[in-house]
Structure 1
Amino acid sequence: MLSMIGLIGGLALLIFLTMKGMNLLVAGPLCALFVAVCSGLPLFPQLAGEGEANLVGNYMSGFTSFVTSWYLMFLLGAIFGKVMEDSGAADSVSKWIVDKLGMKFAVFAIVLACAVLTYGGVSLFVVAFSVYPMAISLFKQANLPRRFIPATLAFGSVTFTMTSAGSPEIQNWIPIDYLNTSPYAGWEVSAIVALFMMIFGYWWLKRMISKAVAKGETFVSRENDPVVADKALPNPFTGLLPLVVVLILSYIFHDSLAQSALIIALLGGVITTYLLNRKYFKSFWNAVSDGTMGALIAIGNTAAVVGFGGVAKAVPAFQTAVEAMTSIPGSPLIGGAIAVSVIAGMTGSASGGQAIALPLIAPHYVEMGVNTEALHRVVAISSGALDSLPHNGYVVTTVRSICGESHQDAYWAVGALTVIVPAIGVAIAIILFSLGLGI
């Protein structure tokens, strides 16, 4: 009982401290300590038996494993975003979009850029780094409140694209190993749900921004924002081409190199930006240096939350919660959706929710004769709902490290679009599959 109180309390404390603005590098270990003490978990490896769980070992294992897997992607993604900003390429593209579509389509342009890159296989973190310079420029020109930039980036990246049929993102691929399906499983229902999330979510985003503008909110510049008023800009085509290069290279190498394809793709994007726009740089190497520092902060914040998840998974209450979630009676689709979504929320990870739940629920549900394509799609979509609570690594990185906003100002719009909208999408998917569509 105390272990469960510790697990729930630790998660609630992490969310509370995140919303209050505490540094994640402090909040993560602090909340992990709370969970460990309540569960009687040894604090140090020397106090635990060989191979047994302990606070320091499990926290640092989660922390370092994330850094090991993602450091180069974070580094090159941050550098790519900075060179796009410093060269004026992002401003050139944004100005062209505004000239062609009009200022009222500024938000749509950002959502579209994120969606194309995400569905093209570019990492969610990298998409945020890459599109942010264009987003800040568009919001500035349209005089929109910048606190909605994180929600705009997140909506285009982690809702109607990340978990849709055909998406190369890992959240769409994990179920394949457990259900023997394909990335296009349940594509008919997926298309309907994606269309709903896209239309409803965009309407909601625009409504929130319009209400804020009506109350007098405007874009507020900061000292570290790029100054472009008197600066010559590159051709919009040479500004857009680096993004196209990233998309093409990630698609070409995705099957053979998996996530490592992003290293080649982003390096290609950086080189392309330099070669095409080198005469427009204020300082290429300063941009590289700034990107490097930004990457370190971003990956540190995210790894701090992943470390908390490493401790949470080691306590007895977590296994009890998993067993309860994966044995929910009734429709397997409802049970699977709840199990994956809740576990994703506890770990702050969509892929983590799937990786923990599927080994437990997949054999049981397959034996029951559930349609595996329907289960695949429901599990994928549901993993992208509660995972986006305030402590989620992507949310923390995008809100704080990339956009420089506080959770109090920016998260409510992010939560509305990345928690509520996908949750409604899951319900629609379950209803459609239950009616026999796509089965």
Structure 2
Amino acid sequence: MPAYLEAFGLIASLLLLITLVMRGMNLLIAAPLCALLLAVISGMPLFPQLVEEGDPNFVGTYMDGFTDFVASWFLMFLLGAIFGKVMEDTRAAEAVSKYLMDKLGPRFTLASVVGACAILTYGGVSLFIVGFTVFPIALALWRMSDYPRRFIPATLAFGSVTFTMTSAGSPEIQNWIPIDHLGTSPLAGWEVSLIVAVVMIATGYYWLKWMVKRAVARGERFDEREGDPVLVDRDTPNPYLSLIPLAVVLGLSLSLHHHFGTSALIIALTGGVLTAYLLGRRFVKDIWETAGSGTTGALLAIANTAAVVGFGWIARDTEGFQAALSFMMEVGGETTPLVGAALSVLVIVGLTGSSSGGMNIVLPEIGPNYIGQGVDPSALHRVAALSSGALDSLPHGGYTVTNIRIICGETHKAAYPAAFATTVAVPLLGAVVAVLLFSVGL
């Protein structure tokens, strides 16, 4: 098939996926539908019965990608969602968020919300739980500061899916997926990671602050809406005690990694669940109901991610994608291979709208090649993780849709420009800085 037709198939299927998701279609329907379009345009046989065993076909390849991701990461998603739900129901997440709000106040509205999201995310709480927990607090601060509420999604996302999600030491799976493929640790490239995090925090925060101030200067104000959640003044646990479960997750994941690899994350999240429950059990009516609610959230999250991973596997098996991947690896060449690695991760993550799903697809393809060239696995780990946190926040990204539409009740038209700045442009800058720092030998 001509290369231009392959390229057209990739672009058309991606644009259709973005359009369908932005119009509200469920990812579990949109992703396989767009994967089918890509398979047809690429001339891929539809059923396993039409090919030799092991050869690419739409049904087999799509479901292999879907099930492979679920098999590898289901327990992490499950325990992460339960941990987040326990932190929510024991009011520990609320206590940490309120403490920051009380200490910083309306004068530091943006810093309060970003800080609360960052602490919870770096402590291992699910991104979606963080959003639902912090949103009512953010809304109260926005009301007091009279800020345009369309900037809340960008602020929540900046604290959740940028400098914390992909930094060294983070228990989020975006920092753990490269471990199995590259033989590294969750602290890989921590020196560069620390510098990049500072750059991302400073750039994103002041950019966000500038956008809000400019909107206020134009006359935009906070608008009350019917059904807005009200921040209830209720009893919460001690905020310092509420930080202990987060510390347990971080401590166990980092200390046990050398003995258990990625399974250390299972132990760490289990420890976090038990610690959070023991410290806040007086607030929990039924622990099994809490766990069941977390399980439902985990199933939805991993199913949505696996759905776009299946789309990515179809894309991976097209000649157009393989040609594009080869081209990007050649861009870096032997002198700057990290550039090729970053570009490869960016493209597949952009196709799938999932940082975790994209890395699971591309790292087995590029990891052995680059390590064989003598690339430092720790540098490759950190560049891949940082790059994965950029184009995963395109309009069709699962977290982006949930954050803007479900958590905050905004539209893409109103909220996405600011979200693009904080969750796409800033992480892209971070990836560039990381490549430069590793290239000069830091």
CA distance in structure 1 between the aligned counterparts of 2:127 and 2:368, rounded to whole angstroms: 31
Instruction: Name the structure 2 match of 1:131.
Output: 130
For residue 326 of structure 1, report the CA deviation from its aligned partner.
1.5
Pair 1:266–1:6, CA change in 2 (3 A): same
Q: Is the 8 A contact 2:42 2:318 kept in 1?
A: yes
CA distance in structure 2 between the aligned counterparts of 1:178 and 1:274, rounded to whole angstroms: 34
Q: Does 1:278 align with 2:281?
A: yes
Q: Is the 8 A contact 1:45 1:57 kept in 2?
A: yes
The TM-score normalised by the length of structure 1 is: 0.81
Q: Is the 8 A contact 2:131 2:403 kept in 1?
A: no
Q: Does 1:152 align with 2:161?
A: no
Q: How big is the alpha-carbon RMSD for the aligned residues of Structure 1 and Structure 2?
A: 3.6
Pair 1:341–1:389, CA change in 2 (3 A): same
Q: Does 1:356 align with 2:365?
A: yes
For residue 32 of structure 1, report the CA deviation from its aligned partner.
0.3
Q: Does 1:142 align with 2:141?
A: yes
Q: Does 1:21 align with 2:24?
A: yes
Q: Which moved more, 1:173-182 or 1:403-412?
A: 173-182
For residue 329 of structure 1, report the CA deviation from its aligned partner.
6.6
Q: Which moved more, 1:170-179 or 1:314-323?
A: 170-179
CA distance in structure 2 between the aligned counterparts of 1:32 and 1:221, rounded to whole angstroms: 39
Pair 1:404–1:71, CA change in 2 (3 A): farther
Instruction: Name the structure 2 match of 1:385.
Output: 390
TM-superposition CA deviations, 1:88-140 (whole Å, max 9, x none): 333333222222222344543443355456656x4xxx441453354124213
Instruction: Name the structure 1 match of 2:70.
Output: 67
CA distance in structure 1 between the aligned counterparts of 2:298 and 2:38, rounded to whole angstroms: 29
Q: Which moved more, 1:239-248 or 1:55-64?
A: 239-248
Letter in 1 for 2:232: V
Q: Is the 8 A contact 1:347 1:353 kept in 2?
A: no
Which one of the candidate residues 277, 291, 294 is aligned to 2:294? Answer: 291
Pair 1:210–1:277, CA change in 2 (3 A): farther
- Stretches of structure 1 that go unaligned for 5 or more consecutive residues are none
Q: Does 1:237 align with 2:237?
A: no
Q: Which moved more, 1:333-342 or 1:13-22?
A: 333-342
Instruction: Name the structure 1 match of 2:424.
Output: 419
Q: Which moved more, 1:333-342 or 1:44-53?
A: 333-342
Q: Does 1:77 align with 2:80?
A: yes
For residue 6 of structure 1, report the CA deviation from its aligned partner.
1.1
TM-superposition CA deviations, 1:174-194 (whole Å, max 9, x none): 778988988777666544433
Pair 1:254–1:150, CA change in 2 (3 A): farther
Instruction: Name the structure 2 match of 1:216.
Output: 221
Q: Is the 8 A contact 1:326 1:336 kept in 2?
A: yes
Q: Describe the SS at the equivalent of 1:22.
A: coil
CA distance in structure 2 between the aligned counterparts of 1:180 and 1:64, rounded to whole angstroms: 23
For residue 81 of structure 1, report the CA deviation from its aligned partner.
2.6
TM-superposition CA deviations, 1:287-332 (whole Å, max 9, x none): 3333332222222222211111111111221111111222227762
Q: Does 1:32 align with 2:32?
A: no
Pair 1:28–1:401, CA change in 2 (3 A): farther
Letter in 2 for 1:388: S
TM-superposition CA deviations, 1:132-158 (whole Å, max 9, x none): 354124213313666655533442344
Q: Describe the SS at the equivalent of 1:328.
A: helix
Letter in 2 for 1:307: G
Q: Describe the SS at the equivalent of 1:49.
A: coil
TM-superposition CA deviations, 1:234-293 (whole Å, max 9, x none): 333343333333333333333333333333333333333332222233554443333332
CA distance in structure 2 between the aligned counterparts of 1:335 and 1:239, rounded to whole angstroms: 42
Q: Describe the SS at the equivalent of 1:62.
A: helix
Pair 1:14–1:251, CA change in 2 (3 A): same
Q: Does 1:338 align with 2:340?
A: no
CA distance in structure 1 between the aligned counterparts of 2:380 and 2:290, rounded to whole angstroms: 45
Q: Which moved more, 1:397-406 or 1:200-209?
A: 397-406
CA distance in structure 1 between the aligned counterparts of 2:180 and 2:278, rounded to whole angstroms: 41
CA distance in structure 1 between the aligned counterparts of 2:380 and 2:311, rounded to whole angstroms: 29
Pair 1:95–1:382, CA change in 2 (3 A): closer
CA distance in structure 1 between the aligned counterparts of 2:106 and 2:195, rounded to whole angstroms: 29
Q: Does 1:53 align with 2:56?
A: yes
CA distance in structure 1 between the aligned counterparts of 2:247 and 2:188, rounded to whole angstroms: 27
- Stretches of structure 2 that go unaligned for 5 or more consecutive residues are none
Q: Is the 8 A contact 2:179 2:186 kept in 1?
A: yes
Letter in 2 for 1:14: L
Q: Is the 8 A contact 1:59 1:310 kept in 2?
A: yes
Q: Is the 8 A contact 2:117 2:159 kept in 1?
A: yes
TM-superposition CA deviations, 1:316-361 (whole Å, max 9, x none): 2111111122222776254443334223323443524444333345
CA distance in structure 2 between the aligned counterparts of 1:108 and 1:357, rounded to whole angstroms: 38
Q: Is the 8 A contact 2:116 2:134 kept in 1?
A: no
CA distance in structure 2 between the aligned counterparts of 1:43 and 1:298, rounded to whole angstroms: 27
Pair 1:55–1:196, CA change in 2 (3 A): same
CA distance in structure 2 between the aligned counterparts of 1:252 and 1:181, rounded to whole angstroms: 14
Q: Describe the SS at the equivalent of 2:243.
A: helix
Q: Is the 8 A contact 1:309 1:347 kept in 2?
A: yes
Instruction: Name the structure 2 match of 1:4.
Output: 7
CA distance in structure 2 between the aligned counterparts of 1:298 and 1:174, rounded to whole angstroms: 16
